Amino acid sequence: MSVGGVTHTLRLNTNTICNLEAELDMSVDEITTRFARGYLSVLRSALRAALNYEVTLDEAGEMVDEATPRVVLERLMEAFRLAFPDPEADDSTRPPNGAAAGIGPSSSPTGSPPASPSLSSGDSRPAKSPGTSPATAAV
């Protein structure tokens, strides 16, 4: 999103949205509904969160003024859609070969053994695969 000749990247991921939910004491559905209905305080907070809290609320408000609420709303809605795509909307996101959607044994293609998580020593969480990163959407 360009404001004042400067391009800003809006990024939303699970942690950013959780922080925004906690800050506003609202669910993500309430947040998107309220800023779509014109609640500028929610729009300003969502913009600040999408900018990784690198600006103050007042600075985010100034950006909304300069870019216009409509443009900021469009960019934020796009960032939300990219961060949480609708798996039903795009066939390319469906698992191949008739595999079930989701995780777990039933999500493996027919005939494939279920994947077992590898654990690092002393850690009860599954090990992260090389090259993976959290879901982040940039607009």
- Render each residue's pLDDT in the chain as its tens digit; 139 residues: 888 888 899 999 999 999 999 999 999 899 888 988 889 999 999 999 999 999 999 999 999 999 999 999 999 999 988 888 877 765 555 455 544 444 444 444 444 444 444 333 344 443 433 333 344 545 5
Structural domain boundaries in the chain: 8-83
Query: DSSP per residue over 13-47, as a string?
Result: EHHHHHHHHHHHT--HHHHHHHHHTT-HHHHHHHH
Distances from the Cα of 2 to the Cα of 7, 70, 72, 76, angstroms: 4, 13, 10, 13
Token output for 119: 């654990």
Query: Distance (Å, rounded) from C-alpha 47 to C-alpha 130?
Result: 31
